[in-house]
Structure 1
Amino acid sequence: MELDAELGERAHDLDRAHVFHSWSAQASLDPMVIAGAAGCEVWDFDGNRYLDFSSQLVNTNIGHQHPKVIAGIKAQADVLATVAPAHANLTRGEAASRILARAGDEFSKVFFTNGGADANENAVRMARLVTGRDKVLSMYRSYHGNTGAAIVATGDWRRVPNEYARGHVHFFGPFAYRSEFWSDSPEQESERALHHLERVIQAEGPAGIAAILIETVPGTAGVLLPPPGYLAGVRALADKYGIVLIFDEVMAGFGRTGDWFAFQNPELNPEGVVPDLITFAKGVNSGYVPAGGVIIPAWIAEAFDDTVFPGGLTYSGHPLAMGSIVATLDAMAEEGIVENAARVGRDVIGPGLRALGEKYDVIGEVRGVGVFWALDLVADPVTRSPIGPAEMATLKKALLSRGLLPFAADNRIHVVPPCIVTDAEVERALAIYDEAFAEYSAR
């Protein structure tokens, strides 16, 4: 598309006149207009270019406009642009088989959805149906999507005006830096968080609990890596009380942690525990066409061999989405993109961010893995009190003015580039972060 400032103005004016934005008070919006993108960069109609270290909504894992994915979508459009989900089509089968090959032998089927929220909706539905129970336990520090059950399973503020679904109970997950359990080590945090979870299970009545739904790595809540033994402990509690364990890998899956799935990362899950259901979206095709799904083991799939599964979507397994998934997963395997995410996180992003943490008091904690990192920003490094919205706005402006598009949430800067990011791009981003924090600290 031609880079013309007048086109940018028209795009902005049309948006403000006609588009209703999510999670926003509409009158004060002034959205950035994106004209195009490639790889790890986006640009506007004035020709200003930005390193996309937000991956948009932490979903463009393969980067923008990957030629193999674009070609896969175009090729599918030439053959079959749409079809009802009741029919079989080759590309859907190919997509499912590739996803299952990455998930592991414990799983046998994929139910396709339009995104992560409805993936979580249907995972919860499956858990309730196979157990005959109702309650769903999830963390306060979590985000699971903005549909009926998914938003009520969510723990953050967005749940509160949307609490219309039934049977949801929340608990505190582990977070050693801001511990709810007065812990003084990650190991103690894990032990006490598991004790808390078991007490919630017991107090709520185990015989009525269908599922424990957790993000393997809570993402929007702050890239909260599970401490030693936590995932194994949750698995043990689910087994003890006959509860279905759902890992929400919508944000963490398909390369983000340097593995195909976060639960396969030995640093996060050294015991190698496996959930009963996995939900996914985002990185499976980097959002090029809306898609998500639930990865299902045989024992749950077989429960519906002779019983109707009461769920479905008009666009479940949409051919264009399936074409984008096949092309994405093939390209990621062929080009070593997941391996790149692991290496660049270990060798470049992690060391660089930790050096910034040593340099600036405002950075209270650096945490992450792969291309999934967060800087927890504090007004006081001793009390760990978070910085406020005005300070965050100042830092975000400083980053944008230097050509970096950040992901900012609450008091955090999330460092979440595409999995294809190069060492040179990371070094460029680190220099921008350094300049922005230097400017902030010199105020």
Structure 2
Amino acid sequence: MTTLDVRPDLEAQVRADDRGHVFHSWSAQALIDPLPVAGGEGATFWDYAGTAYLDFSSQLVNLNLGHQHPDLVAAIQQQAGRLATIQPSMANDVRGELARRISEVAGDGFSKVFFTNGGADANENAVRMARLVTGKRKVLSMYRSYHGNTSTAITLTGDPRRWPNEPADGSVAHFFGPYAYRSPFHSSSPEEETDRALEHLEQTIILEGASTIGAIILETVVGTNGVLVPPPGYLPGVRALCDKYGIVYIADEVMVGFGRIGEWFAFQAFDATPDLITFAKGVNSGYVPLGGVVISDRIAAHFDTVSFPGGLTYSGHPLACAAGVATFEVFERDGILERVRDLGARVVEPRLRAIAERHPSVGEVRGRGLFWAIELVRDRETREPLVPFNAAGADAAPVAAVAAACKEAGLWPFTHFNRIHVAPPLVISEEDLVRGLDIIDAALDAADAAL
């Protein structure tokens, strides 16, 4: 934090410009009061008065390498000095290098990357590829999912943000994914949840018409809608169903790719290989917008002599790709994947288990690496959520009270419905990670008080 960043005299102007002229996403404009942010470094950001917050949401679970990482900033500055932009139809060194590096970590069978500006258009283009290759238009996606804000992506989404946007893409159907804590299949074990969830998916395929279904898209680990880690065997089972019925398997790795659970891509932890992988966020921590689709060789071959009917002016933007190449260098030099696995297993999981034991409002903790959810309930026996699904206003007050207690203590949390998510930057110090968990522990007293 520097004196240049801390300028209380500027805060009023920043707030006035924002409230007067910025139209914010997912918001009723007159009911919000966004925090004016002056600066950030590592796992911390601060306002114009100098109040600092531990960023336990990595902004929107994208800031994997934290605020103002010097290597990423330097890469952008250097690239801007020699070639700030070039159209996507031309070859560019950092674009090609980043595509090669992404293909290499994706594993055997992946050689090509189509770059987009973010996660939503990555999913849009992956669906387009699947439809073109299979000749089938319908796409299946989970309830409790988020795939983006554009037309097909918001239709694929399985949370309430879809509702006011309907109808959009009429060729989407939803199904129940595994969620052992609130099993829609009345399962009594993870293995049973897998078996019943796969049986349900196969019945959905049959009843929707396998001959009409071009793709199934899944968040490898469901993100905003619950940090739902797939039970053993589920993703291999999805892969087998896709093979059986000639369906393209799309893994949405926008939130969990690039180290969030301690793997380059989360699917690599679950013994299943998709046909298409979508990514964004952590590929360069959002320093310059970037997303994309990693394309299996089988699907890429379809477009060897058939034109792909899609493109974006800023596809593979050099500034974004330079930050992406720098991200790979930081990951490899600093052992980020190993660090995430260590901190998740040694620090976060045991601490969250202890928090769950201590607070009667905690029904379950679940996650992997540096991606966890604390699910809050009114009653551990009935598992009634602390706040209702899609709660707002007074109904959401108990979780809002927890969030307010976190902020008062210097931590910016990620909350969604009846959950607190733990998703700090992957470069957070162990000391700050422990301090953040301490703050959440104390803040949960507000949830206990609501019981």
Q: Same fold per TM (> 0.5)?
A: yes
Q: In the alignment, what sits opposite 1:392?
A: 399
CA distance in 1, matches of 2:97, 2:298: 22
Asked if 2 retains the 8 angstrom alpha-carbon contact of 1:62 and 1:337, the reply is: no
Residue 101 of structure 2: which of 94, 98, 102 is its match?
Answer: 98
* 1:159 pairs with 2:162: yes
Residue 52 of structure 1: which of 51, 55, 59 is its match?
Answer: 55
Question: Number of aligned pairs?
Answer: 438
Q: In the alignment, what sits opposite 1:84?
A: 87
SS in 2 for 1:170: strand
SS in 1 for 2:78: helix
Asked if 2 retains the 8 angstrom alpha-carbon contact of 1:344 and 1:422, the reply is: no
SS in 1 for 2:139: strand
Residues 131-156 of structure 1: CA deviation (Å, up to 9, x unaligned): 00010000011000000111100111
Once the two structures are superposed, the pairs formed by residues 251-400 of structure 1 within 5 Å of their partners are: 251-265=255-269, 269=270, 272-388=271-387, 389-400=396-407
Give how far 1:166 is off. 2.4
CA distance in 2, matches of 1:440, 1:161: 30
Asked if 1 retains the 8 angstrom alpha-carbon contact of 2:179 and 2:228, the reply is: yes
Runs of 4+ in 1 over 3 A off after TM superposition: none
Give how far 1:441 is off. 2.7
Q: In the alignment, what sits opposite 2:408?
A: 401
* 1:218 pairs with 2:250: no
Specify the code of the residue in structure 2 equivalent to 1:209. Answer: I
CA distance in 1, matches of 2:231, 2:442: 32
CA distance in 2, matches of 1:228, 1:216: 13
Q: In the alignment, what sits opposite 1:176?
A: 180
Asked if 2 retains the 8 angstrom alpha-carbon contact of 1:7 and 1:45, the reply is: yes
Residue 420 of structure 1: which of 409, 412, 427 is its match?
Answer: 427
Specify the code of the residue in structure 2 equivalent to 1:318. Answer: H
Q: In the alignment, what sits opposite 1:198?
A: 202
Give how far 1:94 is off. 0.7
CA distance in 2, matches of 1:331, 1:289: 17
Q: Percent identity?
A: 59
Specify the code of the residue in structure 1 equivalent to 2:200. Answer: H
Residues 28-55 of structure 1: CA deviation (Å, up to 9, x unaligned): 1111111100100010110111110000
Specify the code of the residue in structure 1 equivalent to 2:237. Answer: G
Give how far 1:439 is off. 4.5
SS in 1 for 2:444: helix
CA distance in 1, matches of 2:92, 2:434: 44
Asked if 2 retains the 8 angstrom alpha-carbon contact of 1:145 and 1:151, the reply is: yes
Q: In the alignment, what sits opposite 2:35?
A: 32
Residue 135 of structure 1: which of 128, 134, 138 is its match?
Answer: 138
Specify the code of the residue in structure 1 equivalent to 2:400. Answer: A
TM score, norm. by length of structure 1: 0.98
CA distance in 1, matches of 2:438, 2:128: 47
CA distance in 1, matches of 2:257, 2:349: 19
Specify the code of the residue in structure 2 equivalent to 1:206. Answer: A
Asked if 2 retains the 8 angstrom alpha-carbon contact of 1:394 and 1:440, the reply is: yes
Residue 232 of structure 1: which of 233, 236, 240 is its match?
Answer: 236
SS in 1 for 2:170: coil
Structure 1 unaligned regions, length at least 5: none
1:382 and 1:264, CA in 2 relative to 1: closer, same or farther beyond 3 A?
A: same
CA distance in 1, matches of 2:447, 2:126: 44
Asked if 1 retains the 8 angstrom alpha-carbon contact of 2:253 and 2:277, the reply is: yes
Q: Which deviates the most, 294-303 or 234-243?
A: 294-303
SS in 2 for 1:211: strand
Residues 319-355 of structure 1: CA deviation (Å, up to 9, x unaligned): 1011110011111111111211111000001111110
Specify the code of the residue in structure 2 equivalent to 1:340. Answer: R
Asked if 2 retains the 8 angstrom alpha-carbon contact of 1:279 and 1:294, the reply is: yes
CA distance in 2, matches of 1:329, 1:401: 35
CA distance in 1, matches of 2:248, 2:437: 42
Asked if 1 retains the 8 angstrom alpha-carbon contact of 2:53 and 2:412, the reply is: yes
CA distance in 2, matches of 1:418, 1:132: 41
Give how far 1:442 is off. 4.6
Give how far 1:440 is off. 4.2
CA distance in 1, matches of 2:5, 2:73: 20
Specify the code of the residue in structure 1 equivalent to 2:329. Answer: D
CA distance in 2, matches of 1:440, 1:57: 24
SS in 2 for 1:308: coil
Residues 196-249 of structure 1: CA deviation (Å, up to 9, x unaligned): 000000001101100000000000111000001100110000000000000000
SS in 1 for 2:373: strand
Q: In the alignment, what sits opposite 2:391?
A: none
